[in-house]
Each structure stands twice: as structure tokens, then as C-alpha cells.
Amino acid sequence: MKKSVVGMIALSAMAAAMGSAFADEAAKGPAMTAAEKEQAKKIYFERCAGCHGVLRKGATGKNLEPHWTKKDKDGNVTEGGTTKLGQNRLEKIIGYGTDGGMVNFDDILTKEEISLMAKYIQNTPDVPPEYSFKDTLDSWKVIVPVKDRPTKQMNNFNLKNMFSVTLRDTGEVALIDGDTKEIRSIVKTGYAVHISRLSASGRYVYVIGRDGRLSLIDLWMEKPAVVAEVKIGFDARSVDTSKFKGFEDKYAIAGSYWPPQYVIMDGDTLKPRKVVSTRGMTVDGEYHPEPRVASIVASFIKPEWVVNIKETGQILLVDYSDIENLKTTTIASAKFLHDGGWDASKRYFLVAANASNKIAAVDTKTGKLAALVDVAKIPHPGRGANFVHPKFGPVWTTGHLGADVLTLISTPSEKKSDAKYKEYNWKVVQEVKHVPGNLFVKTHPKSANLWADSPQNPEKELAESVSVWDKSDLSKPKAILNVAKDSGLPETKATKRAVHPEYSADGKEVWISLWGGKVDQSAIVVYDDATLKLKRVITDPKMITPTGKFNVFNTQHDIY
């Protein structure tokens, strides 16, 4: 398993913060040496905390506190009619996964590591330290000052069709030329970069690692490279910039999983300007100690960010027109908020409340909740997919981790020609048959197709494949493409997960990451969207565990 230096430092700090209360309680769980605990904490941080939470209270994944995972002193495994897990059952779940979207780790972790993790989650969770504004400021580095940066593009790359590709386990981003398919630069970033976001101008790429490290990449340099960085916490997922007219490239915002807070920075240097805690009450009226910042998007119609707070189910509209006197609108929706995207008009933001099996829609023009739509189990849209349905008009699409459908929701339109579809607005108008374990759906305004992956499915062949539908006929897939076989890479026991379809800027190609095991070769597989024929396999010894890919033009303009 690849090392994560920042993650190791963070986890050492977590260990230092533990008190005697933890030691007393932990003694009730399976015995572990200090070295085993350190190893397990590192694995949990890298592989588990994103879904289950640092404090293990659950969100996308289930609660993993000892009262659910550990047998009691008499060996009983039930509590109030609810089955507890225990060592053997935990090892099977970790190893083989579940139909509810839990991936199998038997090709990621060794048997010894699986056993170790089963022991670890029967012990009381570690309580990590806080991370102050001073800590954030002390971590800030400007590598290339603004005055020393180019005043024009110094390379001849077609930046609109550049892809920022996460190399998960190496803590790097590969910048790949969409025209030539050549790797133009591999940039050292934080561990397991979750997303890449573009400045309003399209010049800067902001990438944030799960270790809380935010890196600013300047695409105008002869060889694009990091020009500034800052660490915003120990665990993070989200970043965006200011996009409203007059504020282009002025500010950036990044959200932290731990501590639960967000940071506002100068857009061109990442200098921290303000840290805001998100701790507070849930929509159910209960206090939560770990309300993590999930997705963040920038409004196009107001100087606001839409900030989604996972555990509380609260959606924040943060007005950045005066960051010294910050104004925030709080909108109650449902738990636990995760990812989402804009409708076609970019007025409404739709976000998955995946523990409630709902999609919340926010009207950013009125600053109010527009709808709360019931959907299937554990929605996971990524950014979702917008297109015009032949019967129901404009729709936005989400897939599901825990259900075998794609859900189509009718979205409002101000076009006179779409008035006839108004009766369907904010209703589920169709469920398209798919398989569980979907993470991302994708389309493009110039494409006739809808693509969906299923990398979290426990069946190897399904996890290695993607499905494609004709948007004019969603009755069945027009094709199911086995990406692993198409890649031509050697067959292995480990699953090569086909994940995250992403279109080229012109909508003519679809790029799929083939995420191999920790010792297997990975690749990006490129298909012609019109013919569904294989066009190119991008592979290289440096192409290690690619996951998310973000086309510069599509990401800059929120095209999906």
C-alpha cells in the first residue's frame, strides 16, 4: 500500500490527542499492539473514513461504533433485535463487500490487514485534534509568486481539452492532452485527490486531496505545475472558486471533513482569509460533533457558494461579496448530504441525501428549498446528467449505490416551449434499469448517449464494465462495455474497476478510468461516443490507480 506522509502525520496527531478514557474503553475490544493500531489508523484514514466518518458515526457507509461492531462480554451478537457483527462477520463484509455499495477489499487489503481492520473497528474511535486558522496559515506556501507567473499561455496545448486525472494512491495528478492523449505533466499533490475544479477563467486547476492538502496548478506555465498550496484540515473532499461576474478567480473555498469546517482563501495564492466551523444541529434537532463539508459549487447568478453539510442535512448559501462580514442562508433538507450538480438552467442545485434516499433541490435564485424528492436506495449522482427526455422534457439523472436503477427527475425550465412539462417538475418520471454499485452517470449536450458505471458492484464483471443508453430509448442499454477486456491489459484476479465516464470538450469521446489493484497496471480507456468503438488505451508505468478525470472545459462550465 502506498505511503501517505501527510496522512501518517495527521494520524500520529490523532493518536497523541487520545485520552485515558479511550484507553479504558478500547481495552474492552480485541487487543491490539500500538504498532497494529497505528497501521489500522492509517488504513482507516485512507480507505474507510470517507464513507463511515472519522468518528465512525456513519453517513454514506454504516455506523461503525463498537456498540454495533463488537460482541458483548458474554459473546452475544444482538442488541434490541439488531444483529451485531463480531470478528468473523466483519472480516467477511470487509473482504467481500455488500450489495449496498460496500466495495470488496480482498483485492486491496491482505488477509492480515482485513483481520486487523475488523479488530480496529471493534475498539472505540480515536478522537482527532482540531485544526485552527493559525495551523492553516502556517501550512500555506506560495511556490511561484503571482508576479513571477506568465502573463499569457506559454505552452501550445489545447487547454480546453486537457484532462486533470487523479492518480489516487501516488498522491499525484496527471495532466493529459485530450487531443494527443499524451501525459503533459504529472504533478505532486495531496493523497487521493477527490476532485479537480477550474477557476472561472480556466487558467487554474484546484485539486484537493483526502489528506486536506489543496494544490493550485497554473496551466499557463510551459509545463503546468503547482504554484501554491495549503493544508485546510486532516481530511477533505471539496473545493470551488468564485464564478459570479466581477469575482472571477478572486476567491476559493475548500471544505474539510475533519475538522468539520470550511476555509475561504484568495483565489490566486490560496492565502487563508477565513475559517468557518460547521458544527451544529441536524435537521432532526440533534447536535452532531462531525458535520462534514460535502460538495461545494459556485452559483452563476449570485456571488454565493452552495455548501452542503453532510451529517446535519443543512445546505448553506455563503455570500462571498463581503467575506469580512460573511452572510449565510441555511436551508434544511435531509441527511446525509453528499454530491450533486446543477440542472440544465444552472438555477437549481440538486444534491443527494443518501441516508434518506432523497434528492434535495435548492433554488439559488430565491434562496429556498425547491423540492425534496424520494428516490431509490443510496443515491450517488456525482454531478448527475442533464438531457431532454422525449416525453418528460428536461431531466436530471442520478445513479445509486444500493439500487439497480438510474432515477430521472423532471427539472423546471423557463423556456416557453417547455411549459407543457411543468406538471412533471420535481417528480421522478422514470427509473432506468441498471445494477447496484453505480458511482457516476454522465452525458453531454452534443451526445445522444447516457453512460453509467458500476465500480462498487461486488461482481467482478459488472465492476469492470459500463452501460450505455440511447437517450431517446431508455428501455434497455444499447451496449454494455467490458472496459477491462477492451483495455488489453493482462487478466488478473484483482478487479479492475471501470469508473467515472468523462466526455471530451467536444462531446465526441468518453474516457473511462480502469482502476487496477495496488500491484496491477491501470489505464484510461477512450471510446468514440457515436460508435462506442475503442479509440485509445492510455497506459504508462506512471498511470497508477487513476480514478476521477476532469475535462477542463466541461468542468469550467459545469457541463454534464
Annotated active-site residue 543? The verdict is: no
Of the residues 14, 51, 117, 543, only one is catalytic, namely: 51
Say how far apart CA 295 and CA 195 lie, in whole Å.
10
Q: What residue has cell string 461504533? A: 65
> To the nearest 10°, the Cα dihedral for 340, 343, 349, 351?
-30
Of the residues 14, 102, 162, 265, only one is catalytic, namely: 102
Is the separation of the CB atoms in 226 and 143 below 8 Å?
yes
Q: What residue has cell string 428516490? A: 375
Tallying the residues shown for the chain, one arrives at 560
The residue among 473, 461, 478 whose CA lies nearest residue 532 is 478
Of the residues 52, 194, 400, 434, only one is catalytic, namely: 52
Written as one string, the DSSP assignment of 331-388 is EE--SPEEEEEE-TTSSEEEEEETTTTEEEEEETTTTEEEEEEE-SSSB--TT-EEEE
Of the residues 194, 288, 338, 400, only one is catalytic, namely: 338
Q: Which of 229-232's residues contact partners 24+ apart within 8 Å by CB, and which partners? A: 229/140, 229/141, 229/143, 229/270, 230/136, 230/139, 230/140, 230/141, 230/263, 230/265, 230/270, 230/271, 230/272, 231/6, 231/135, 231/136, 231/139, 232/131, 232/136, 232/208, 232/256, 232/263, 232/272
The residue among 373, 379, 376 whose CA lies nearest residue 354 is 379
Of the residues 14, 48, 117, 265, only one is catalytic, namely: 48
Question: Helices H, strands E: what count in the chain?
Answer: 11, 37
Nine-digit cell string for 64: 461503525
Close Cβ partners of 205 (under 8 Å, ≥ 6 residues apart): 164, 173, 175, 196, 197, 198, 199, 216, 217, 219, 224, 550, 552
Q: Residue 103 carries which DSSP code?
A: P
Annotated active-site residue 48? The verdict is: yes
Annotated active-site residue 221? The verdict is: no
Annotated active-site residue 194? The verdict is: no
Q: Residue 63 carries which DSSP code?
A: P
Nine-digit cell string for 215: 494544490
Is the separation of the CB atoms in 486 and 534 below 8 Å?
yes
Q: Residue 400 carries which DSSP code?
A: B
Of the residues 194, 380, 389, 500, only one is catalytic, namely: 380
In DSSP terms, which residues pair with 178 in a beta bridge?
none
DSSP strands (E only) in 35-129: 78-79, 82-83
Q: Phi and psi (nearest 5°) for 309?
A: -100, 110
The residue among 551, 557, 547 whose CA lies nearest residue 529 is 551
Q: Phi and psi (nearest 5°) for 382?
A: 65, -125
Is the separation of the CB atoms in 400 and 436 below 8 Å?
yes
Q: Which residues are catalytic?
A: 48, 51-52, 102, 338, 380
